[in-house]
Each structure stands twice: as structure tokens, then as C-alpha cells.
Structure 1
Amino acid sequence: MHKKDQHKKKSFNEEVAGTLDITRSGLGFVITGKGDGDILVRPNDFNRAFHGDKVRVRITRGGFGGGKREGKVVAVVQRKLSQYMGTLKGHAGRWFFMPDSDRPMPNFVVEEEPDFEVKDDMKVIAAFVRWDHDDRRPIARIIEEVAMHDLNDVAMKDILMENGFPLQFSEDAMEEAARMNDHITAADLAKRKDFRDVFTVTIDPVDARDFDDALSIRPISNGLYEVGVHIADVSHFVTEGSKLDEEAYQRATSVYLPDRVNPMLPERISNELCSLRPHEDKFTFSAVFIITEKGVVKDHWLGRTLIHSNHRFTYEEVQDIIETKEGLHSEEILILNTMARKLRKDRFDKGAINFSSQEVRFKLDETGAPIGIVVKESKESHQLIEEFMLLANRTVAEVVGKIKVGDKALPFPYRVHDQPDEEKLMPFIAFARKFGYTFDTKDADAIANSFNEMLKAAQGTPQQHVLEQLGIRTMAKAIYTKENIGHYGLGFEYYCHFTSPIRRYPDVLVHRILQQVLDHQLQPDKKLEEKCKHCSERERAAMDCERNANKYKQVEYLGQYIGEEFDAVISGVSTFGFWAETVAHKCEGLVSIKDLSDHDDFRLIESDYSLVGLRTGRKFRMGDGVRIKVIAANLEKRQLDFEWVKGSAVISNPDAVMMPPMPAKKAAAKKKAVSAKAPIPKDLLKKRRKK
């Protein structure tokens, strides 16, 4: 057989994995992500796959000589969605479910009537049950009626489902959770260190219900303390391969929206059995440190424990103790804070970057409508918890990272963060220089130090958020992987997620592997990298949910101010206009290029992050202060439209005009910018010294 014919035959039999993207016209394309082009799939060849599903496709045409590849779906590997919002059609005994979708989808046959009264044209949420070869249509089960008068509830549920997060757990998973108990047996005591007599507290947000971490402290001798970082032992309850485990893995993360939490685990687990509630004995997995009051770690121990929390603190209560030096358990809190401050200083001295992007929270009324916006500050009480969690995460990763199986590292889900992208970093450095922030580029450590100098000096200015967001964009995305490359942003050679197993599945994986290490019974997981990729993808989906839900609330809130003017800072530019974020509310809207001027032609200057008028020379640049008017708020599209107030100033340095003057100390810090050097030598960032 001719070589070309052999290649042709092989191409036609080849199977490729990817994600099915169905267009609005009905054609499908399997996206492989391998750079060799998408694979066209015609509607009759979807083989029961829906838009967004992960599939295997067999090549039937093309794939050689430059021809466009076509194929047929041979298997659905993983459904993107398990639950849908839509309309119920039919009458008693025969019901169909029509999913709401902007992509072609078949109607579902309803397997059985729900336990509530249903009627034609009712808006409902349905769960996908199956679509076997013998079924002409997919089968669905009706979960609940949708209260269409509650637009906020509908919107939040829709955001979750469109990103693949189910709204309810299966009956099997709920039954497993209901059967569990937290009785402590003699066998449990034999396998755990008992910390129930050691002073222990939790510190969490005021509205928290799942307390997944606690701190214990007791003096030892010669100025040494034993500090325990105790984490809810989810893996004690959620065993590998159980229904609970399967559903937790599929979600991989809890999702936090402005008015609700979509949990990774049922409330029976997250809010009761595993939550480290005060005055209750709890199962924990702990990292225990021997540490000086000045934060120098002398030794550590890892293992399973039992604790009994003495008190539940809120962040506000702990902050008050830190500021006043008095209050309940103030002695222990102040010692822990002294240690945390030293740990934090050491991190930044060793090259960690102090990104502290602003977090916006909405004040909601009883209906979920936003009545105010609060910018959450990171205070010492938050940093106290953060530093001990970072210490535990790093220590666990260091211990497991040195374990070998044969001559290879034990597969382990590291949390890694790659070094900055040079192509993104250089334009950012040039942009920051225009605000007076200069970078030392002699090596990667100097670049990290320059980032910290800039972030410190920009604190409290209108462009702070823009600089933080742009700076973060120069960085790679943190992901889960078994290939350890370290965490650039934190300056750690080893890092993992160990401290939040109630809301993150990778932490559950870490607990299980760590226990194997402690028991000297290693069972390397051959599918670990696949699990890491899944968890990273679900994390991105959760972030999309949170971003879209916050945007919905921004539109809902600022929609009350149509026609009113506000100070804003330009937060993004494109060929069709610029985005501006209001200073008072941190709400972002688009100013269309059509509305900027009737007598000018604007062009995007990417290197300057700006729009420039060709005739007038007027410039709108990221970080500039502008005056805007709110002209439209579209809840369905989650979109705010602004208009630049013509004739108002565009302030290239809005600090003094739009915000109060900086304190003398902060102003001095701003001037203390290190000198700019030559451009970064090629591959310099790869040579950053190990910590």
C-alpha cells in the first residue's frame, strides 16, 4: 500500500479527545486544544453529545494534505452540565422538558412526575438522568419549580448551571451523608493525637458556617510554643469511591456568590460533621509547629488529631483585640499575631509578591437586592490566619515533595504558579513608569521587589486596582499539577492546598496522599494529573460564576442611578471603547467609542493601554480618572453602559484631584521607586534563585 494511502487509512481510524462546541446554526466542532485545528462534526453525528461535553471523536475525512478534518462522536467522556433550567410541556402522564439554551438541544422526556404539582409551561430545573442507545430522547428528572418572580434567584441559579455546577446532590449522596456520625471510638483515639485539652480557637468571617481550620497554642519551654494548624478531616467521612466522593470531585470546589454558597459537600458534612464548631470534639488533620514567639519554626509534626475548639472568633473581634491589646484570650491572640507578622515579613524578604487585590462585597436586603457596596480590607486578623495556613500548606508540600517512588517523585497535587510572561511584563513596566513607578530589572528577585514597592506606593490611589489587575495579568495562572515548578508569587519552592478540604477537592487529595506517606503505604495515583486538570478547570468555572454574579449585582445596584454622574478610573481599553470603574462603588461599565466624540477617530494603542484621537490627540488611558454618566443597565446581559461626560477633564494622575492627599509616609514610599535598568535579558526570569 502506498504510504499516502496508509496515512489516509490511519487518519480515518484515528480517535481524538476534545470538547464539543455546537454553534447556534447547529454545526459542531470538537476543540482538541492541540493546535492542529478543530474537527467538524455534523448534527447527525453528535451521538447523544451536548454542547460543552467532553467527547471522543473518530476522524472520517481530511487530516492530511491540508484538508479540513471531519468526524463522528463515538463516546461522551464527561457531561458539561448535569442540571438544566427550562420549560415543562405536556399534561398528566406525558411530560417533556425543553432546556433553555442558545444552542440546539433536543427536548427531554420526563421519567416520572415530581412530588409537587406540575402544569404546562411551568419553569423548572431538571436533572439529566441518561440517554442510552435504546432511548430516542434524553431522560430527565424534575427537581424543583423556578419562582420566576424572583429574578435574582433565577439569575444566580442560571449562572451556576451554565458553568456546570449542580444545584442539588443526588439522593444516594444525601443518604450517605445522613448515615454518618461523628462518634469517637477507641480505634479513632488509637490513630490520633488528642489535642482536646489544648487551647484552640477558630477565626472566620462573621457569616461563616463551615469552619474548616482552627489554631491551637500552648507554651512549652525556653520561649518556645507549640502551634497547631488543625484542618477539618473531610477524608475521614468522605471515602474514596463513595457517591459523596464522586459528586465532590465533579464539583471540585464550592462556589461563593453574593447571596449564597453552592457547596462542594452537603451541609450535613460541611456545616455539621466537619465544621470545627466551638465546644464540640472534632476530627482533624493537623500541622503542628514548634515555634518561637518571633516566628522562627524549629520543628514540625503532621498527622491526624482530635480537637475541641474553646471559642469561635470573627475577624472583627480579633482585629479589635490586636488594636486594643485587650479582650477575651487576648494573650494567645497577640502571641499568634506576633508570630504571623514575622512569618509575613520573612516571606516578602524572600521574594513573595504582595498582591492584595480589592474584594468587593454587597450589602443585600431580605430579597437579595443590593443596597450597598463594601470594599473588603485585608487586616492583621486576616493576615494572621493567612500566614499559618501558608505555613501548613508549604510544610505539607515540602514533606511529600521529597518522597520518592523508585527514582521518581511521588505523584502529588501541587499548587504551582509560573514566572511572569516576559511579553506581558515589559509593556506593564512601561505603563507603570508613566505613573512614576519604576522597576529594577537586573534579575527576577529585583523584579519581585519592584512589584512590592509599586503596590505599596499605589495603595489608596484610584489607579491601585488597575495596577493590581494589570500586574496580576502579567503573571501565569496558578494551577494544580503533579509537576512541581514552585510558586513564584509566594516565593515557595514547594506549595500545595491542604487547609480547606470542605470547599476544595485538591485538599482532599492532599490529605489522602499525606496519610499514605505517614502510614508508609504509598499507592501512586496514575490518574492524578487528569484529576489536577479537572480541579483547575472547575476552579476557573467557579471564578466565572463569582465574576458573573458580582457583575449582575453591580448592574442591579447601579441601575438605580441611571442619568447620574460619578468619578471613575479607566480599567480597560479596546478597539470599541473603554471600561471605567466607579471610584465610589467599584462598578465597571463600558464607554462606547461611538460616544466619545462626534468629530474624532480613535485608535487603540496597545503598548500604551490607551485610546487616542487621531485629530484631537485626546487620550483615554488605563488608570486615567474620568467623569462618567450611567446611561443603561442590562441585567440579562449583565452589562452597564456609561457615557463620558463631554468637556470633563481626563486626569492622567488622578490622585490629588479624585482622592484625599496621601499621608506623608505613603507619599515617601511612592517616591522610593528603584531605578530602571536595561530591558530584561532573555530567559532571565527562569534563573530566579530557589528559596
Structure 2
Amino acid sequence: MVTKIEILKVLREDVTKPIFDFDLFKLMELDKKDSDEFLEMLDELEAEGKVLKTKKDKYGIPERFGLVSGKVQVTKKGFAFLLSEEAGVSDTFIPAAELNTAMNGDTVLVKLTKQPEDNRRGEGKVERVIKRAYDTIVGTFEASKDYGFVVADDKKMGRDFYIGKKDTKGAESGDKVVVKIIKYSEQNRNPEGKIIDILGKAGTHEAEIQSIIKMHGLPEAFPKKVLRQADRIDTSISQEEIDRRKDFRNDLVVTIDGADAKDLDDAISISKLDNGHYELGVHIADVTHYVQERSKLDVEALKRGTSVYLVDRVIPMLPKVLSNGICSLNPHEDRLTMSIVMEINEHGKVINQQIYESIINSNERLTYTDVSDILEDNLEGKDLSKYDYLNETFIYMRDLAAILRKSREMRGMIDFNFPEAKVVTDEEGLVTDIVIRESRVSNKIIEEFMLKANETIAEYMYWLELPFVYRVHENPTEEKIAEFNKLIHNFGYTIKGNLEEIHPREIQKLLNQVEGKKEEALINKMMLRSLKQAKYSPFNDGHFGLAAQYYCHFTSPIRRYPDLQIHRIIKESLNGTIDKGRTDELDVIVANAAEQASKQERIAEKAERDTVDLKMAEYMSNYVGEEYDGIISSLTSFGIFVQLENTIEGLVRMVDLVDDYYIFDEANMLYIGEHTRKTYHIGDELRIRVENVSIKDREIDFTILEKKE
């Protein structure tokens, strides 16, 4: 079985000139049975811009032709940058006139016209569009007599889309619409499209939420064939199935989740052994028993990659008959699970572990609030005496979680501490409040237990040397840490040591220094922006933020595809069914799952942020003219961002600073008045007024009333 990595390796190291696909196939000494898969992977590599196909149908690596592959990131001003995944290739500037029909997000091949030098980026022009990022766009329709235009919600699209009179589908001015792109933009010509869906009037709740869903290509409804397969699943549990599993139904097992959670995919059991060690059981819904590999359900789950949690709805990875039904660990019901039982000593070290295909029957469906109230002795006005029989369990949970946390702190894990906004909506989805999300003692208990299970599973599987999907977080670049160091210098802090090989412990030292201070949230946020994003990978490259050598996602197979995939591998390993052929097959499967899940995770995160930004703008539209205290959260060439106590950010535009002409000193991250020498730094406290809110653009404008000294 062949992989994309192997194809690229041969093209880079063993091929000296463009080569036909059949010659490459022979060079790699592949079996005839692999030919279809080989050609499919070659096509995918071409679509990704990692391989170039010439007009004579020969293949080569783009850099051998003097080209760089990557994705175009278009700015609101029209020019763009090429973002390449190639090692050592910096971002390349592309003038608007050199985009050659490329639009934001497109995968392209770029020819360098100016080499990078000193601190200046290289410059290039798009030679070929390899893959379009979008074949549809979402925007607001504006009608005229004989035609219309759609203004895209994504401002990086740069141009409005021309809609011919016959292609308006009856849309009226102000309608939020979905447009099928017919013709991509050319020099001095707008792109063309036809309206295929009308979402409602711009500015209304459902139309705006639907526009975000459509813009990110999120699949709301499941295909009928997937739903039919889900409905046909046998939810009964045979005695034969029970007999082959570890039976935990007589153990004290509970779930702890949010009060409104419907998909309960993790449960815990805990006891104290005679030697003083703890025995912690983490029991996870066995989704793979119901979702078979390559089934319609499995293919759809991989396509979605993750459940998406928008402010007013969830777009699930699996149909609700599974996620809220037979795979949800509801109390007093037999449920099939995958369990890891760990013996943990007083230092938080796992002494022994056992992994089982199992069955449980949860005793209680507990909530974070109730468990926290019990452990924090906050029972005023509440009667939780029905849980008295669990008091010893709660104490064990609290004590073990404290041990595990101390162990992680000692090895240097990073513990970000900044407020997270929670949008409160009514039944119609309209925002009623923006509050700070609570993280109490029970939330932290479950977090510690899930982290320990994930780490233990990852290490166990690593030493088995089987294909696996790891959760990795690469070390930050020296440049990013140096840039962050310059920013925090304004607050009187610095990260010391070798910035090229920074240890997470040094970052945590800084976060401890700022704890409880006014700049804490800002420095936490700036630090987070300086780190790379975690991703899924078939390679165990460690997790920088957790200071963990081994890490994976095992605990949420209802809502994350990598968890689902590694459950299959674990089960096959336990049953001894992985031979050489299956190992080769799994190599391809896990690489594909890691790549797809990482991509879908980014899309989900962006969609979730967009709906939060929408609701924040909607909320603040009720408070135009009101005054608040805030703190400068970031500075840009076009204005000052100010964050309020409820985490909402607004922009003070440079043109609205009317008491002087201000210069943006990017090197020192400050604004300075030409005549008054008045300065604005990150972290400065301000009194602001809400000046204007655009729900459509999800933008909030502030005016500075006073700088607090």
C-alpha cells in the first residue's frame, strides 16, 4: 500500500526530471493492485498543489519548476499573501494585479518575481489556480433594473458578484443569498454567479446564522441514506456481547456534564486501594460498535470530522439517534463502552493500566453545578441529599484531581487563564446576555481525568508501534516567541532562556507572574496567539502546551472523528487482528483521518467564532451611546482594539483619534501623538463610548473618552 508521503519522497529524491505516472509507478516498484490508489493519490497531490502536472502529462515537484505552492490569503485592500506549508518558505506578497483570477483561500502555484531579502517578503504572481476554495459564496443581494450584485459576507473576496437578471431567483434587495459561482474574477471584471438559495432578510437572526453555516460549508442535514442506516441499527445488547466484555455494571459509575448536555460520552469510576493508590476508571461510549468502518455513517462522520457548537445549535457529527441515544451514557441503562482503568500513585504516576471493551450502567447523571456546589459547600437553598451516598466518591475525585494537576504543573504544562464568553440566547435565538463562562472544581476534575486517560492511551499505543492518530502541539518558532517577548516588555516582563528551544515551563512562569493582575487576560491571549495550533497527526510529535510526550484524543468519539478512529485500532489491537496488511491499510487511514479532522476542526472553530462575534454585535447594538471601562487588547495600523470586562472587543479607528495625529510604532507596539506625545500601549485602561455597531459586518466601534493613568 502506498502513501502520499512516499510518492513525494520519491519525486523529491529519486526523480531528476518530469516523469509520466506509469514510469513513477514502476520506479516505486508497486504492486498492480495498488495502481488505482496510486493514481488517486497522485491526483490528490496535484489538487493540493504539492505535485505539478505538465501539459505533456508529466509530474514533478513545483519547486523544481521555480514555483511555490500554497493558499492565497487576500486582504480587504485587495492584495494577497501566499501561505505555503513548505518548510523554510516564508509568506510571499502578491499584488492585486498578479492574482490571475485567484480568490481568497484558493490553492495556487506562484512564481517568485522578487526574492525575499533582509526583513522584506518575497513577491510573486499566481501562475496557476490549482484548486478553488469556494464554488459558492454567501452575501447580500442588491438589485438594479436589469441585473444585480451580491456583496460577499467574506470581505476578503474583494469584489462584488455580478448576477444576471435571469439568475436572481426572485431575490429582492437586502436578501441574504447563496450564490453559485459561474465565472471567477478577471482583471477589471467582476466574478459572475447565479443565486441558488435565499436565506432571508439580512440582519434577521436565522438568515445571519444560516449565512455563517453556508459560508463555511457546514452540512446541517444528514443524507437520507445515512439516517436510514442509523435508524436500522440494532440497539439491543446480546448476552454473547456482554459475555465477551469486561462487566462494570455493578461498579459505582457516574457521568458529570453540563446541565443541558445531551450526548454523554464519558463516565468515571474511582476507588482507593489498600496501598493508598487510586484506581480511576474512565469509560467512553463505544461508538465503533455501531459505526462500522467504511459504512455510510462512518464516511459521513469522517466528512464532518467534528460536531460544531454554534451559539444556538449543534451540528452533530453523528445522527441524534446515536449521539443522544444508544451511544449516550444515560443513567440506569446498559451501555457499551471502551474503558481504561488506571492505578495512580500519590505522585500522579500511572503504575498499571488495563484497557477493555466493556459494559457499564451509570448510577447517576450528575451536573458540574451540583458536584461543584457539594464540594465547595455551596448548598444554600438546594437539597442535594440524594447524592449523599457519593460523598466518598466526590472526595476521592477532588483529591486525585489535585494530585494530577500538581504533577502536570511540576512537569511544566501551560495553564492559560483568561475569561471565556458565553452567549445566552432566548428560545428564538436572540441574545439576552454575554456572561463569563464558569470553570469550577468539578469541571477541572473531569478535565484532569480525561487528560490522564488520553495521555495513558497514547503512550500505551505508541509502544505497540501501531498506526495511530495523535494529538500534537508543535513547539513555537523562535521568531514568534521573540515577537511575544517584545510585546510583554511593555508590561515589564520577559521570557528568559534559549528562545529557539523554549520549554513550556518558562511560559508558565510568566503566566504565574501575571496572575491576578490587570494585564493577565491580555498576556494570556497574546501568548496563545504566539503558539502554533494543535492538530491531529499519525506521528507522535508531543504536545507542547501540555508538556506531554504522548497525547491523543480518546474520550469523545461521539463528537470527534479521531477518537472514533483510534477506538477501532485499540479494539483490533486488543483482539489481535492487526497483521502486516492491516497495518499498511491503517497507515493510510490514520493519515487521512488526521488531515481531514484537523481541517474540519479549523472550519468549526471559525464558524463558532463567527456566531459569537455576530451575537456580541447584536448584543452591543442595544447599548450604542453607553460608556464602559475597557483595556487595550491590541494595536494595529488602522486602530486600537479595546476589550470590555465581558470580553467583547471594539475598535477605536485611527481616524477617530481627533486630539492629535497619531503614529503607529509597530516595533514598540504603541501609538504616539505627533504633537502631544500622548501614547497608547497594550494594557492601558480606557473609558470608552459605544459609537456604532454593524450587525451585518459584526463590527463594534468605540470612541475613547478618557485614558486612565
Q: TM-score, normalised by structure 2?
A: 0.75
2:625 maps to which residue?
A: 563
Are 1:458 and 2:518 counterparts? no
2:475 maps to which residue?
A: 419
SS in 2 for 1:337: helix
Please state how far the C-alpha of 1:451 moved relative to its aligned partner.
3.0
1:521 maps to which residue?
A: 577
1:577 maps to which residue?
A: 639
- Provide structure 2 residue ranges, at least 5 long, that are not aligned to the other structure: 1-16, 20-51, 63-68, 116-122, 144-149, 181-191, 379-383
Distance change in 2, residues 1:556/1:414 (3 Å): same
Tell me, in whole angstroms, the C-alpha distance in 1 between the residues paired with 2:79 and 2:487.
43
Are 1:616 and 2:676 counterparts? yes
**Range with greater deviation from structure 2 (278-287 or 119-128):** 119-128
Which of 394, 406, 415 is 1:354 aligned to? Answer: 415
Are 1:189 and 2:242 counterparts? yes
Distance change in 2, residues 1:322/1:487 (3 Å): same
- The residue type paired with residue 582 of structure 1 is L
Tell me, in whole angstroms, the C-alpha distance in 2 between the residues paired with 1:271 and 1:377.
24
Tell me, in whole angstroms, the C-alpha distance in 2 between the residues paired with 1:314 and 1:549.
26
Deviations 1:155-203 (A, max 9, x none): 1221122112112111111111111132111332233211111111111
1:231 maps to which residue?
A: 284
SS in 2 for 1:371: strand
Work out whether residues 566 and 582 of structure 1, in 8 Å CA contact, stay in contact via their aligned partners in 2.
yes
Which of 538, 554, 559 is 1:482 aligned to? Answer: 538
Please state how far the C-alpha of 1:302 moved relative to its aligned partner.
1.1
RMSD, aligned CA:
4.4
Tell me, in whole angstroms, the C-alpha distance in 1 between the residues paired with 2:508 and 2:420.
19
Distance change in 2, residues 1:595/1:126 (3 Å): closer
Work out whether residues 24 and 104 of structure 1, in 8 Å CA contact, stay in contact via their aligned partners in 2.
no
- The residue type paired with residue 510 of structure 1 is I
Distance change in 2, residues 1:515/1:359 (3 Å): same
Tell me, in whole angstroms, the C-alpha distance in 1 between the residues paired with 2:657 and 2:203.
37
Tell me, in whole angstroms, the C-alpha distance in 1 between the residues paired with 2:356 and 2:598.
27
Work out whether residues 441 and 447 of structure 1, in 8 Å CA contact, stay in contact via their aligned partners in 2.
no
Work out whether residues 417 and 488 of structure 1, in 8 Å CA contact, stay in contact via their aligned partners in 2.
yes
Which of 243, 247, 260 is 1:207 aligned to? Answer: 260
Deviations 1:18-69 (A, max 9, x none): 76999999999998755598999x9xx99xx9986779x9x9x999x99966
SS in 2 for 1:636: coil
1:343 maps to which residue?
A: 404
2:222 maps to which residue?
A: 169
Please state how far the C-alpha of 1:632 moved relative to its aligned partner.
0.7
1:158 maps to which residue?
A: 211
Distance change in 2, residues 1:127/1:387 (3 Å): farther
1:393 maps to which residue?
A: 454
Distance change in 2, residues 1:505/1:562 (3 Å): same
Distance change in 2, residues 1:634/1:127 (3 Å): closer
SS in 2 for 1:526: helix
1:681 maps to which residue?
A: none
Tell me, in whole angstroms, the C-alpha distance in 2 between the residues paired with 1:445 and 1:19.
29
Work out whether residues 83 and 166 of structure 1, in 8 Å CA contact, stay in contact via their aligned partners in 2.
no
Number of residue pairs matched by the alignment? 605
Tell me, in whole angstroms, the C-alpha distance in 1 between the residues paired with 2:489 and 2:74.
45
1:658 maps to which residue?
A: none
Tell me, in whole angstroms, the C-alpha distance in 1 between the residues paired with 2:650 and 2:85.
32
Distance change in 2, residues 1:62/1:396 (3 Å): closer
2:12 maps to which residue?
A: none
- The residue type paired with residue 193 of structure 1 is K
- The residue type paired with residue 588 of structure 1 is E
Are 1:630 and 2:682 counterparts? no
Work out whether residues 591 and 643 of structure 1, in 8 Å CA contact, stay in contact via their aligned partners in 2.
yes
Work out whether residues 603 and 614 of structure 1, in 8 Å CA contact, stay in contact via their aligned partners in 2.
no
Distance change in 2, residues 1:321/1:457 (3 Å): farther
Tell me, in whole angstroms, the C-alpha distance in 2 between the residues paired with 1:613 and 1:497.
50
Work out whether residues 201 and 311 of structure 1, in 8 Å CA contact, stay in contact via their aligned partners in 2.
yes
Distance change in 2, residues 1:243/1:107 (3 Å): farther
**Range with greater deviation from structure 2 (78-87 or 421-430):** 78-87
Please state how far the C-alpha of 1:146 moved relative to its aligned partner.
4.2
Work out whether residues 281 and 341 of structure 2, in 8 Å CA contact, stay in contact via their aligned partners in 1.
yes
- The residue type paired with residue 612 of structure 2 is N
Output aligned runs, 1:429-508, within 5 Å: 429-441=485-497, 448-508=504-564
2:372 maps to which residue?
A: 319
Are 1:551 and 2:613 counterparts? yes
2:433 maps to which residue?
A: 372
Distance change in 2, residues 1:533/1:11 (3 Å): same
Work out whether residues 199 and 310 of structure 1, in 8 Å CA contact, stay in contact via their aligned partners in 2.
yes
Tell me, in whole angstroms, the C-alpha distance in 1 between the residues paired with 2:573 and 2:413.
29
- The residue type paired with residue 593 of structure 1 is M
SS in 2 for 1:484: coil
Deviations 1:200-253 (A, max 9, x none): 111111211111111012455343443210111111111111222112111111
- The residue type paired with residue 561 of structure 1 is Y
SS in 1 for 2:707: coil
SS in 1 for 2:632: strand
Please state how far the C-alpha of 1:357 moved relative to its aligned partner.
3.0
SS in 2 for 1:494: coil
**Range with greater deviation from structure 2 (434-443 or 285-294):** 434-443
Deviations 1:528-582 (A, max 9, x none): 3343222112111111111111111111111111111111111111111110001
Tell me, in whole angstroms, the C-alpha distance in 2 between the residues paired with 1:297 and 1:62.
53
SS in 1 for 2:650: strand
Which of 603, 610, 630 is 1:541 aligned to? Answer: 603
SS in 2 for 1:412: coil
Tell me, in whole angstroms, the C-alpha distance in 2 between the residues paired with 1:617 and 1:316.
51
Distance change in 2, residues 1:629/1:39 (3 Å): closer
